[in-house]
Amino acid sequence: MKKATILMLVLAMTLSLFGCSQAKPAESTAPADSTAPTTTQAPADSAPAEVLTLKFDSGFTAGTPLAEIPQEVITRVYDASNGTIVIEDYPLDALGTSPERAPMLMSGQLDISAHALSVFDQYNPQQTIMNAFFMFESWDHYRACQETDVYKKIISDLESVIHATVVSDVYLGRRNMLSKAPIESMADLKGVKFRVPNEPMPIDAVQALGAAATPIVGPEVYSALQNGTAEATESGAVEIVNRAFYEVCGNITFTGHQYQTQCIFISDAAKARMTDEQYELITSIIKEVCEEYTVKQQEAEAEQEQFLREKCTAFDIDLTEMREAVQATYDNYDADWGDGTWEAFKALA
C-alpha cells in the first residue's frame, strides 16, 4: 500500500511538470518595435573611397622646367585628395601633337590637356591678337591685356566653342631673332630667307620687315638653317638652346617680338565627372603650379639668354622701325580682332 502511494505521488508530480513546460510564455511589457528608436550602422572606416581617374596630356619640351608641370600637378592632387584622385601622365606628345590632341580634348576624350592658345585659333579668330608680332612690349604688358574685358570675352567665347575650360596659363617665353648674318637694323632683314610657321600672321609680319617669309615645319628648322634653306628664324631662348639652333646660326637679336604661354585646359566631359570639391581642388592646384613654374621658366630663360650672349654675337637694338612696320599690318585683322582692339591693347603698354 505504501509503495502504491509513492508511485501515485511520483506520477502526479511528472504530469504537473509536463503541463508547466507547455504553458504560454508571459506577454512582454517592452514597447513595440514600431516605437523603438531606429539606428543605422555607420559604414566601416576602412571602406575605400571611390577613385576618380583622369588623364593629363602635354607636349612640354623635355629638359625644360615646364616638362615638370604634369608630375607636379599629379603629385599634389593625389596628396591633397588622400589618393582619391589619380591623374595619369601622357607627356612629350605621347597621344599626338598638339593639333592632333586638340580635337580629342574638344570631344571629351581627354581630361586635362596643355596647349598653346593658338592651336584653337581657327575656332576663335579674335584670339590671334595674342600672337601678333610686336603687340606686347613686355611680359607685364601681356599680363595687363589679359586682365581686360576684351581678353576675358576671348577666353569665354573659346571655351563655349571647344567645350573645355582654360584653367590657367604658364609662361613659355619671349621670342627673338636668330640669324646667320647679323641683324642690327630692319635693313639687314631685306631679302633674308626667314623661317616662319605656315600661318598668315607671321608671314605678313616677316614680309612687312622686308624678309622673305619661308614656311618650314618645326622639326625641320635645324636642318633648314644648316643647309641654307633658311637663313634666319625666331624662337625663345630656352627652345633655341634646347634644340641647339645656335650651332647653325651665330647671331641673335633680342627683339622680344612675341610673348607666349601654354594653357592648361579641362574638358567639359571631365568636369562633369567631378564633384564641385574635386574640381575646385584640381583647378586651384593647377593655378598654383602654373604661377610657380612661370617664375621657374623665366629664370631658366634668363640663364639661357645669358648662355646665348656668350655663344653667339648678340645685338640689343632700337626696335622702333620694326614695331612701326609690323603695326602697319594690324588693321588687316580688324575683322578678326574687332575694331579698336589692338589700339586698346597698345594703350596699356
Q: Is residue 26 part of a domain?
A: no
User: What is the reported pLDDT for 66?
Assistant: 97
What nine digits make up the cell of 4?
A: 502504491
Domain presence at residue 254 = yes
Task: Give the model's pLDDT for residue 4.
Answer: 41
What per-residue string of b and e applies to 28-54 under the rule 16 or more CB within 10 Å gives b? eeeeeeeeeeeeeeeeeeeeeeeebeb
First to last CA, the chain: 134
Residue 47 is predicted with a pLDDT of 62
- Tell me which long-range contacts 196-203 makes (C-beta under 8 A, separation of at least 24): 196/234, 201/128, 201/131, 201/132, 201/133, 201/333, 202/131, 202/133
Structure letter (DSSP) for residue 111: S
Among the residue ranges 37-51, 197-211, 274-288, the one predicted with the least confidence is 37-51
Distance CA 80, CA 92 (A): 26
- Is 263 within the bounds of a domain? yes
Higher pLDDT, 17 or 186: 186
Mean pLDDT across 66-77: 98
Residue 40 resides in a domain: no
Q: Percent of the chain at pLDDT above 70? A: 86
Q: How confident is the model at residue 49 (pLDDT cuts 50, 70, 90)?
A: confident
Q: Is residue 325 assigned to a domain? A: yes
Measured CA to CA in angstroms, residue 311 lies from 247, 248, 308 at distances of 9, 11, 5
pLDDT reading at 51 higher than 90: yes
Alpha-carbon torsion, ordered 240, 121, 284, 286, to 10 deg: -30
In a domain, 309, yes or no: yes
User: Confidence band (pLDDT; 50, 70, 90) for 13?
Assistant: very low
Number of domain units in the chain: 1
Task: Specify which residues 313 forms β-bridges with.
Answer: 251
Range of the domain at 318: 52-346
DSSP 18-73: HHHHTSPPPPP-SPPGGGSPP--PPPPTTSPPPPEEEEEE--PPTTSGGGGHHHHH
**pLDDT tens profile 83-129:** 999 999 999 999 999 999 999 999 999 999 999 999 999 999 999 99
**What pLDDT was estimated at residue 163?**
98
- In angstroms, the CA 307 to CA 309 distance is 5
State the CB neighbour count (10 A cutoff) for residue 323: 18
**Inside any domain, residue 199:** yes
Residue 296 forms part of a structural domain: yes
Domain CATH for 266: 3.40.190.170
The DSSP 8-state label assigned to residue 91 in this structure reads: -
All cell numbers assigned to 274: 567631378
